[in-house]
Structure 1
Amino acid sequence: MTGATTAPQQQPSSRPNRAASLCACLLLLVLLALAAGADPVREALRYDRQAIAAGQWWRLLTAHLVHLGWAHALLNGIGILLCAGLAPAVFACKKFLLLMLFLGTGIGVLMYSGYPDIGRYVGFSGVLYGLFVVGLWPQRHDALMRCALILVLGWAGWQLLLAPLPSEEQMIGGRIVAEAHFLGVLLAGAWLMALAGIRRMPRP
Structure 2
Amino acid sequence: MKDQIWIRKVILIAVCVSVSACLQVFADHFIYWKPNLLTEFWRLWTAHWVHVGWMHFLLNMLAFACLPFIFPHARNWHLYALLLVLPPFISLIFYFFLPYIDAYAGLSGVLHGLYAAVGLVYLQYPKERKFALLVLALIGAKLIWENTFGQTGTAQLIGSPVLTEAHLIGAIGGVLCGLGYLLLRRVQREHIN
Q: TM-score, length-normalised on structure 2?
A: 0.87
Partner of 1:117: 100
Q: Which runs of 5+ in 2 are unaligned?
A: none
Identity of aligned residues (%): 24
Question: Which region of structure 1 is more displaced relative to structure 2, 139-148 or 127-136?
Answer: 139-148
Aligned counterpart for 2:168 among listed residues 162, 182, 190: 182
1:63–1:123 contact (8 Å) kept in structure 2: yes
**1:178 & 1:49 partners in 2: Cα distance?**
18
Q: Tell me if 1:30 matches 2:13.
A: no
**2:178 & 2:135 partners in 1: Cα distance?**
17
Bigger Rg over Cα: 1
**2:65 & 2:185 partners in 1: Cα distance?**
29
Instruction: Give runs of aligned pairs for residues 41-190 of structure 1, distance below 5 A.
Output: 41-52=26-37, 55-90=39-74, 92-140=75-123, 142=128, 143-164=130-151, 166-190=152-176
Aligned-residue offset at 1:137: 2.2
Q: TM-score, length-normalised on structure 1?
A: 0.82
**1:154 & 1:45 partners in 2: Cα distance?**
31
- Which amino acid letter does the alignment assign opposite residue 33 of structure 2? D
1:16–1:88 contact (8 Å) kept in structure 2: no
Aligned-residue offset at 1:176: 0.4
Aligned length: 186
Residues 67-116 of structure 1, C-alpha deviations (whole Å, 9 max, x = no match): 111100000011012212212333x3324322211101101011111111
**2:116 & 2:6 partners in 1: Cα distance?**
18
Aligned-residue offset at 1:155: 1.0
Partner of 2:178: 192
Residues 20-62 of structure 1, C-alpha deviations (whole Å, 9 max, x = no match): 2221222112222222x1xxx1111111111225x22221211
Partner of 1:4: none
Which of the pair is proportionally richer in helix?
A: 2
**2:85 & 2:94 partners in 1: Cα distance?**
14
2:23–2:30 contact (8 Å) kept in structure 1: no
Over aligned residue pairs, what C-alpha RMSD do you find?
2.0
1:87–1:135 contact (8 Å) kept in structure 2: yes
**2:105 & 2:121 partners in 1: Cα distance?**
29
